[in-house]
Amino acid sequence: MNNSEQVSESADESATDPANVPAPNPSFAPQHILVTGGAGFIGANFVHWVARNHPQVHMTVLDALTYAGKRENLDGVPAANLTFVHGNICDAELVESLLSGLNQRSAAAVPPIDAIVHFAAESHNDNSILDASPFLNTNVTGTYVLLEAARRHDIRFHHISTDEVYGDLALDEPRKFTEDSPYKPSSPYSASKAASDHLIRAWHRTYGVKATISNCSNNYGPYQHVEKFIPRQITNILAGIRPKLYGTGSAVRDWISVEDHCTAVWAILTHGRIGDTYLVGANGEMSNIDVLRMILECMGQPSDAFDHVNDRPGGDKRYAIDATKITRELGWRPRFTDFAEGLDETIQWYREHEDWWRPDKDATEAKYRLQGH
């Protein structure tokens, strides 16, 4: 198992994609990707991006449509690019049927699945503190089920992971996370993601699964659930609720636009070195209180119009990504580095999509009240 087993990409494809400057590694041109969790925030953005930029690629989205997934997130993706399957990644029979092509609605027109891009996860730290069990099922067992299927069918596997597997950094140290940082997860969520990363590495080393991993920092953009920091504050203001800041708001996150995350995933899927891990970030470090003040200003609110609420138990202080490896090896660079502009566009998206977020708002806030958040 090595890179040379992968098929070549046609020259014109990478030339039209600004994210894919020529890379040193042999390339892979997926024809049909199984996108797990494709109805969630990042997965849906990825499906839209691939359909726009690589329309020759078919995608089968496998999504359980948990509270975090919506089928309508994929509205607008051309039918020719998409097969949607409502199902669970822990369902080994279903996964096997998809990889065997048995479940394909138009088998004649669609090539067999040749890659898995694995976004599906329970993704929210606060939920994992209330109840870790769905995190262990989906993030650990689900990843195991997919790896076994990828192993049987000898197909390419890209695993979407998080910088949180490395724990946190002190606020005042110059150090950032690199691919060599030790694993030190803090929450049940990040521990379950760390476990899934270890499974990927073991299945690559032991069975030769053609896997890569990306560990990305905090994403922002359209389709993000209202439980997450930025959408929660925006929709609070729109709903007449005061924004809620955990603790003093001194914790730092390294923000990246979701579209930049998507182009990084594509660069790794198509040019990444098999068996390798790539950190993805856009030098977007900012404290929570500064982000909240930007939202307040952008939405015409006084700078003190928010409440301090309980901090997250065990909450991580700071994340910061050193993205040198993906930049040097794959030529990937973030394009959307003006955070103020990106935040403005995100606020505009939530203003224009109240129908999308409103149904989730009350239940989300009720859950937060129980946690003192």
The one among 32, 54, 58, 124 contacting ligand DAU by CB under 6 A: 124
The one among 58, 176, 193, 273 contacting ligand NAD by CB under 6 A: 193
Window 66-125: residues binding ligand NAD (CB under 6 A): 66, 68-69, 88-90, 119-123
With CB cut-offs between 5 and 8 Å by kind, which of ligand NAD, ligand DAU, none does residue 186 bind?
A: none
The one among 30, 40, 188, 284 contacting ligand NAD by CB under 6 A: 40
Q: Is residue 246 within the footprint of ligand DAU (CB under 6 A)?
A: yes
Token pair for 211: 């896997």
Assess whether 163 carries a catalytic annotation.
yes
Strands 252-254 and 285-287: antiparallel
The one among 14, 186, 219, 346 contacting ligand NAD by CB under 6 A: 219
SS3 state of residue 122 = coil
Distance, in Å, from the CA atom of 108 to the CA atom of 74, rounded to the nearest integer, reads: 24
Q: Is residue 160 within the footprint of ligand NAD (CB under 6 A)?
A: yes
Window 146-185: residues binding ligand DAU (CB under 6 A): 162-164
Q: Is residue 162 within the footprint of ligand NAD (CB under 6 A)?
A: yes
- The DSSP secondary structure of 184-236, one letter per residue, reads ---SHHHHHHHHHHHHHHHHHHHH---EEEEEE--EESTT--TTSHHHHHHHH
Residue with smaller CB distance to ligand NAD, 39 or 295: 39
Assess whether 168 carries a catalytic annotation.
no
- The DSSP secondary structure of 281-319, one letter per residue, reads --S-EEEHHHHHHHHHHHTT--TT--EEEPPPTT---B-
Residue with smaller CB distance to ligand NAD, 13 or 276: 276
Residues 8/29, Cβ–Cβ less than 8 Å:
yes
The one among 23, 29, 35, 42 contacting ligand NAD by CB under 6 A: 42
Distance, in Å, from the CA atom of 176 to the CA atom of 181, rounded to the nearest integer, reads: 9
Can you say whether the dihedral through the CA atoms of 241, 245, 246, 247 is positive or negative? negative
Distance, in Å, from the CA atom of 123 to the CA atom of 258, rounded to the nearest integer, reads: 15
Distance, in Å, from the CA atom of 123 to the CA atom of 64, rounded to the nearest integer, reads: 14
Q: Which residues bind ligand DAU (CB under 6 A)?
A: 123-125, 162-164, 217-218, 228-229, 232, 244-246, 251, 253, 288, 312, 315, 319, 373
Chain contacts with ligand NAD (rule: CB under 6 A): 36-37, 39-43, 62-66, 68-69, 88-90, 119-123, 138, 142, 160, 162, 193, 216, 218-219, 225
